[in-house]
Amino acid sequence: MGVALERFDVFVVGGGGTGSEVALSLAKRSDLRVGLAERDKLGGECNHYGCIPTKVMLRSERGAESARDVSRFGVHVQGVHVDFPAVIERARRIIQQQSGAGARPFEELGVTVVPQEVRLVGPHRLEAADGTQIEAHRIVLATGTEAIAPPLDGLEGTPYWTNKEAIWSPTEIPESLLVLGSGAIGIEFAQMYARFGSRVTIVESEDRILPSEDADAGAAFLPVLEKEGIQVRVGAQATRAEHSEGAWVMELEGRDPLTAAELLVATGRRPCLAGHDLEAAGVELDGRGYPVADETLRTTGERIWAAGDATGELLFTHVGDYEARVVWGDILGSPRPRDYRVIPRVTFCEPEVASVGLTEEKARDAGRDVATSVVAMEDNERALIEGQTHGMVKLVADRRTGDLLGGHIVGETAGDMIHEVAAAMTSRVPISAMGDMVHAYPTLSESVKWAFIRLAEGYDAPDP
Ligand SMILES: Cc1cc2nc3c(=O)[nH]c(=O)nc-3n(C[C@H](O)[C@H](O)[C@H](O)COP(=O)(O)OP(=O)(O)OC[C@H]3O[C@@H](n4cnc5c(N)ncnc54)[C@H](O)[C@@H]3O)c2cc1C
């Protein structure tokens, strides 16, 4: 291998979106000698097993659903059929468009790509799977996360799906699907497979769906799942899973067992740090197993940074991109402290669930004197016209200081609309000024304006 005895100024471990952004930005902006290792596919989880394939599949699912539903608007379509292999083929094509160039864009900028697993073995030292030794003045861990399954009796060694299998393993739509976990990933797959034709049941141990979102957001979205025939079991503790003869049985504490043809486990992620000699490199981990890192994402290891999902902060591509900028800025001598105050989050279900900043609960936990405003989507004329009235806009502010602390939107295009709230938070625009801003009619964004007006009036609207 060409890199065997070479020394790098910066070596990036992991060629997902984050690691790629670090390597390419350094190569564009400096003369530093940059190397990057990827053991699987350049583009990482987002391109191959996450954002892109799921959003492609969601597009097909939405097409199917709107064709079925369009008779409400006086248009009749007969015989909706989902061609699952064609859906997957489209996902493959789009991934190929995105990352088909492989290592070329890196090499054109002078980045050396090492297409194998590389592990930290000491300060400034790495070792590739083929035994090659690598010396690097600075190292960036952009190693991402992987799906984790709960220690559920009977689960280990069984062919349950994680996000990877849910995209790439089925050749046809399963008759039924159990989804364990109702975070963003669980919800997106649950609605997708239900609309493709599976009978779907969601099992969630917390007392509500989308547990990390504002309670009102989950409550506004739940009726959509129920209307679409998805069974939702919240506060349900799975105690045992059994797979035999191509079928699953899941036992729940104090409830009837559930059965299904397939099981998707979407209960969380863990860092991909196995195999590294972190101790030798001086990288300490926190209680969750992620590297302890300072304001500019320097770990406790000498000149070793962490970025992206590897930090365990907010597991989103745009957060990885942001953290990549923090890291390459620090490496190039322009440190700026990381700040997660205004990070949009979107679950791409339909209607979308989007949020930024603090939930009402987190704001209260932080000791804020909380004021909220809630506007129901059913009061919005555009929502009525579109026939999609489930949802709401909720704003969370500090009553005493007037600071806007968070926003939560459930509605069509919520993932776009949330940026109005994010912009107001970023620029610290007064709440009354946002309410004064003229919004086009009829748009869903008018609900955001009304939420600002109500908040400015100090009026706490009732729950939607
Ligand atoms: C189903 C699903 C849907 C998602 N949808 C969205 C979405 O819509 N929007 C959004 O913002 N986020 C979404 N995400 C999250 C998003 O995919 C991640 O936040 C993003 O991929 C993180 O990028 P990363 O580069 O930090 O990590 P990764 O993309 O995980 O990349 C890390 C890379 O490091 C490589 N690697 C690890 N260890 C080594 C080693 N020792 N040597 C060499 N290579 C190594 C891995 O092979 C991997 O390719 C989704 C995730 C999932 C699972």
Does the CB atom of residue 306 touch ligand 1 within 6 A?
Answer: no
Burial of 193 (0-12, 13-18, 19+ CB in 10 A): buried
From 11, 13, 39, 46, give the residue whose CB has the most ligand 1 atoms within 8 Å, as the site to mutate.
46
pLDDT value at position 99? Answer: 85
Does the CB atom of residue 144 touch ligand 1 within 6 A?
Answer: yes
- CB-CB contact of 8 with 33 (8 Å): yes
- For the stretch 376-423, pLDDT in tens is 999 999 999 999 999 999 999 999 999 999 999 999 999 999 999 999
Phi first, then psi: give them for residue 173, nearest 5 degrees: -75, 125
Mean of the pLDDT values across residues 218-229? Answer: 97
pLDDT above 90: residue 271 = yes
**What token pair was written down for 256?**
């009837």
Q: What is the atom index within ligand 1 of the atom nearest the CA of 55?
A: 8
192, 194, 366 from 82: Cα distances, Å: 11, 12, 47
Assign 463 a pLDDT band (cuts: 50, 70, 90). very low
Instruction: Give, as one character, the DSSP assignment of residue 388.
Output: -
- For the stretch 134-143, pLDDT in tens is 999 999 999 9
Closest protein CA for atom 53 of ligand 1: 50
Instruction: Give residue 179 CA to ligand 1 midpoint distance, Å.
Output: 21
Mean of the pLDDT values across residues 196-220? Answer: 97
Mean of the pLDDT values across residues 190-201? Answer: 97
441-426-208-376 Cα dihedral, nearest 10 degrees: -20
pLDDT value at position 462? Answer: 41
Q: Cβ atoms within 10 A of the Cβ of 310, count?
A: 30
Q: Which of 116, 139, 137, 114 is nearest to 277 (CA)?
A: 139
The structural domains of the chain, ordered by start, are: 5-42+102-146+270-331 (3.50.50.60), 163-267 (3.50.50.60), 345-456 (3.30.390.30)
pLDDT value at position 347? Answer: 98
21-25-27-30 Cα dihedral, nearest 10 degrees: -150
Assign 4 a pLDDT band (cuts: 50, 70, 90). low
Assign 31 a pLDDT band (cuts: 50, 70, 90). very high
Backbone region of residue 43 per phi and psi (left: phi > 0; alpha: psi in -120 to 50; beta: other values): left
From 11, 22, 41, 45, give the residue whose CB has the most ligand 1 atoms within 8 Å, as the site to mutate.
45
The overall average pLDDT reported for the chain is 95
pLDDT above 50: residue 2 = no
Count Cβ neighbours within 10 Å for each residue of 400-416 and write b for 16 or more, e otherwise.
Answer: eeebbbbbbbbbbbbbe
Mean of the pLDDT values across residues 256-264? Answer: 97
**Which DSSP string do the residues of 187-223 spell out, in sequence order?**
HHHHHHHHHHT-EEEEE-SSSSSSTTS-HHHHHHHHH
Mean of the pLDDT values across residues 283-295? Answer: 97
Amino acid at 70: V
pLDDT above 80: residue 464 = no
Does the CB atom of residue 318 touch ligand 1 within 6 A?
Answer: yes
Does the CB atom of residue 37 touch ligand 1 within 6 A?
Answer: yes
- For the stretch 330-373, pLDDT in tens is 999 999 999 999 999 999 999 999 999 999 999 999 999 999 99
Mean of the pLDDT values across residues 294-311? Answer: 98
CA atoms within 13 A on the CB side of 95: 25
pLDDT above 90: residue 5 = no
Instruction: Give residue 414 CA to ligand 1 midpoint distance, Å.
Output: 24
Burial of 60 (0-12, 13-18, 19+ CB in 10 A): buried
Q: How far is it, in rounded angstroms, from Cα 434 to Cα 449?
A: 7
54-230-250-257 Cα dihedral, nearest 10 degrees: 180
pLDDT above 70: residue 109 = yes
Does the CB atom of residue 320 touch ligand 1 within 6 A?
Answer: yes
Does the CB atom of residue 183 touch ligand 1 within 6 A?
Answer: no
Assign 3 a pLDDT band (cuts: 50, 70, 90). very low
From 143, 148, 416, give the residue whose CB has the most ligand 1 atoms within 8 Å, as the site to mutate.
143
